[in-house]
Amino acid sequence: MSHHRATQTRQHWLETLARYRVDPDAPGSAAHWSPSLDCASRDELRAIQDAKLAALTPFLYENSAFYRRRLDRLGLLPTDLRTVDDLPKWPVVDKTEMMDDLKTAPPFGTYTTHDDALWAARGWMMFSSSGSTGVPRVFRYSQIDRELWAWANARALHAFGIRPGDTVLICAGYGPHVFAWGVQFALAKMGVACIPGGGMTGEARAMLIDRFKPTVLTCTPSYALHLGRVMLERGLDPAASSVRTILVGGEPAAGIEGTRRRLEELWNARLVEFYGCTEVSPHCGGYSCEASARGPITAHLMEDVQVWELVDPETQRPILEGGRGLTVCTSLNSESSPQLRFLVGDYTVFDSGRCPCGRTHVRAVGSFAGRADELINLRGIKMYPVELEAAVRAVPGLGDEYEIVIATAPNGLDVMTARVEHADRSVGVHVAREIQTRCEVRCDVEVLAPGTLPKTEFKARRIRDTRGARS
C-alpha cells in the first residue's frame, strides 16, 4: 500500500466526517440534538451517505489489508462502491470472516484502519466483543473516534429526554465493552452528571440509589431486574425511588412486551434502549424516541452515520421495506473502524415513514428480536431465545430468573426443560402451555422454590444447551 495514498485517502475521509458532524458539542434544539440531520429529508440523508461512501471505500482500500484483499478478490475497484445503490455488489461481512482474519494476523487482525503508528499517535481505547460467539473481535479506537462516538451517543441520549439536571447511575463492569463507556463519554459531552457504579455489589448499588437519588439507571435489562429485587430485599421500593428512566443495552428488552412491562412496573420508570454491536461502533446504532413509549415499540437507526439494510437470512439479498430480515450495517462514522456491510444479524422490520417525534431516520418496528446465530433448533423446530423469554414472561408471578436446558435424553431424543421459580408448583402447566403456543414445541417444566436459581448479574445466560457435550 502506498504511504502517500494511505495518507491522502485518510485525510479526505476525516475531512468528510468533519463536514457532516454538525452540532458537535451542544444540542441544536430542545427536541433534537442535530435537528438538520435528525430531521433531514430522506433525499438529504441519502446524499450524505453517498458522499461518505465515496470517501470511505478508497480509504479502506489504502488502509486496511482485509478490505484491500476482499476488493481485489471480488474484482472491484474502490470507485465501484461509491453510493448506497452500489452496496449490494459487496457481499456482507460476518463475524466469522473477522475471526479468521484475527487468527491469521493476531492480535488485532487487519479489518480496521488502525495500525501501531496511529495507536502511538492518537490511540484512545481498545474495545472487544463479549466473546459469547467465538473469538472476541478487538478494535483499537482513536481520539477522533472518541469525539465521533460521544457526539452520536449524545444525540441518542438527548432523544431519551436526558438533560443536564439528571444524574445517571451506570451499573457496568467497565471492561473493554462499548456500551457503558459510550454512555459515559456522551454524558461528559452533554454536561450531564453521572455516578460510575463499576465494581460494586448489588447491595452497594442499591444504597447508592437510596442515598444519592440518580434519575437514570443504565445497565443490561437482566441487571435492572436483579437490582430492583435487591432493593426490595433491603426494604427499599424501586418504584418509589428517584429513578425515572432505565436505559438498557446489551440484550433485547424493549421489544419483548413481558420483559418491558416487568421492568417498567418494578421501577415505575420508562424503559429506553440502545441497540448496536461492537463491530460497527463507535456508538449505538438504534435508540428509542419518546414516540415509541406511546405507540408501537420502535427504535430509530442513525442513518447519516450508518447505512442500515435488512437481508434475507438464506440468500443475504436485500429485503424490501416492510419485510422481515436480518440487520446489516455500513458504519460511516469512525477513523479506526468503519465497516462495509457488516452482518449484525438481528431480525426486525423497517419503516422509513416520518416518526411523530419529527425524526426521519428509519425505525425498526418491534425493536430487535435477538441474533440469528442464537437460533435454537430442537428436533427441527426453530426458535429464538427471545421467543422463549416472551413465553416465560407471559406467566404472571414467576421469579425473574429462569433457565432453559436442552439435553439429549437416554433414548436419544433431544428434550427441553424450562426451570422457573414459583411458590406454587401447579404453575408449571401454564408455562408449558405458553411455550407450546408461542414456540410450537413441547417443553418440560420444573418449578423451583423462589430464590433457587443463581442471580443474574451482567448479561443473562438463560439457555443451557448440553447436547454438544455428549459426543
Backbone angles phi, psi at 287, to 5 degrees: -155, 150
| Cα Dmax for the chain | 73
| All cell numbers assigned to 21 | 458532524
DSSP string, 398-436: --S-EEEEEEE-TTS-EEEEEEEE-S-GGGHHHHHHHHH
| Residue 31 near Zn ion by CB under 5 A | no
- Which residue, chain included where needed, has cell 415509541? 292
Minimum gap (Å) between residue 367 Cβ and Zn ion: 13
Query: Of residues 123-142, which lie at the interface with Zn ion (CB under 5 A)?
Result: none
Apex CA 49: angle with CA 48 and CA 54, to 5°?
100
Minimum gap (Å) between residue 291 Cβ and Zn ion: 4
Torsion of CA 125, 130, 134, 136, to 10 degrees: 10
Apex CA 149: angle with CA 162 and CA 176, to 5°?
100
List of residues 6+ apart from 180 with CB closer than 8 A: 170, 172, 173, 174, 198, 218
> Is 92 within 8 Å of 342 (Cβ atoms)?
yes
Residue type, 3: H
**In angstroms, what is the C-alpha Rg of the chain?**
23
Q: Which is nearer to Zn ion, 298 or 339 (CB)?
A: 298
Q: Which is nearer to Zn ion, 159 or 170 (CB)?
A: 159
Give the range of 264-272, 333-341, 344-352, 357-365 binding Zn ion by CB under 5 A.
357-365
Q: Which is nearer to Zn ion, 289 or 435 (CB)?
A: 289
Query: Of residues 59-98, which lie at the interface with Zn ion (CB under 5 A)?
Result: none
Minimum gap (Å) between residue 360 Cβ and Zn ion: 9
- Which residue, chain included where needed, has cell 465501484? 80
Minimum gap (Å) between residue 298 Cβ and Zn ion: 7
Q: Which is nearer to Zn ion, 45 or 243 (CB)?
A: 45
Which listed residue (32, 359, 371, 422) binds Zn ion by CB under 5 A? 359
Q: Which is nearer to Zn ion, 87 or 357 (CB)?
A: 357
Give the range of 207-215, 216-224, 321-329, 348-356 binding Zn ion by CB under 5 A.
348-356
Minimum gap (Å) between residue 358 Cβ and Zn ion: 7
CA nearest 417: which of 389, 445, 436, 390?
445
325 vs 176: CA distance, rounded Å: 30
Which listed residue (254, 357, 398, 431) binds Zn ion by CB under 5 A? 357
- What does DSSP assign to residue 73? H
- Which residue, chain included where needed, has cell 445497565? 219
Give the range of 6-14, 107-115, 134-142, 283-291 binding Zn ion by CB under 5 A.
283-291
| Residue 355 near Zn ion by CB under 5 A | yes
Q: Measuring CA to CA, how many Å separate 442 from each of 326, 369, 431, 434?
A: 27, 22, 11, 10
How many residues of this chain bind Zn ion (CB under 5 A)?
5
> Is 168 within 8 Å of 183 (Cβ atoms)?
yes
Q: Which is nearer to Zn ion, 154 or 445 (CB)?
A: 154
Q: Which is nearer to Zn ion, 177 or 363 (CB)?
A: 363
Give the range of 110-118, 234-242, 349-357, 386-394 binding Zn ion by CB under 5 A.
349-357
| All cell numbers assigned to 133 | 460467539
Minimum gap (Å) between residue 357 Cβ and Zn ion: 3
CA nearest 333: which of 44, 55, 42?
55
Give the range of 183-191, 203-211, 230-238, 289-297 binding Zn ion by CB under 5 A.
289-297
Q: Which is nearer to Zn ion, 293 or 432 (CB)?
A: 293
Burial class of residue 264, CB neighbours in 10 A (0-12, 13-18, 19+):
middle
Q: Which is nearer to Zn ion, 41 or 466 (CB)?
A: 41
> Is 344 within 8 Å of 279 (Cβ atoms)?
yes
| Residue 361 near Zn ion by CB under 5 A | no
Query: Of residues 433-462, which lie at the interface with Zn ion (CB under 5 A)?
Result: none
> Is 162 within 8 Å of 155 (Cβ atoms)?
no
| Residue 364 near Zn ion by CB under 5 A | no
Minimum gap (Å) between residue 363 Cβ and Zn ion: 7
Q: Which is nearer to Zn ion, 9 or 34 (CB)?
A: 34
Minimum gap (Å) between residue 58 Cβ and Zn ion: 34
Q: Which is nearer to Zn ion, 154 or 289 (CB)?
A: 289
Burial class of residue 293, CB neighbours in 10 A (0-12, 13-18, 19+):
middle
Q: Which is nearer to Zn ion, 262 or 359 (CB)?
A: 359
Which listed residue (170, 171, 194, 289) binds Zn ion by CB under 5 A? 289
| Residue 225 near Zn ion by CB under 5 A | no
Bridge pairing between strands 245-248 and 216-219: parallel
| Residue 291 near Zn ion by CB under 5 A | yes
Minimum gap (Å) between residue 29 Cβ and Zn ion: 14
| Residue 37 near Zn ion by CB under 5 A | no
Which residues contact Zn ion (rule: CB under 5 A)? 289, 291, 355, 357, 359
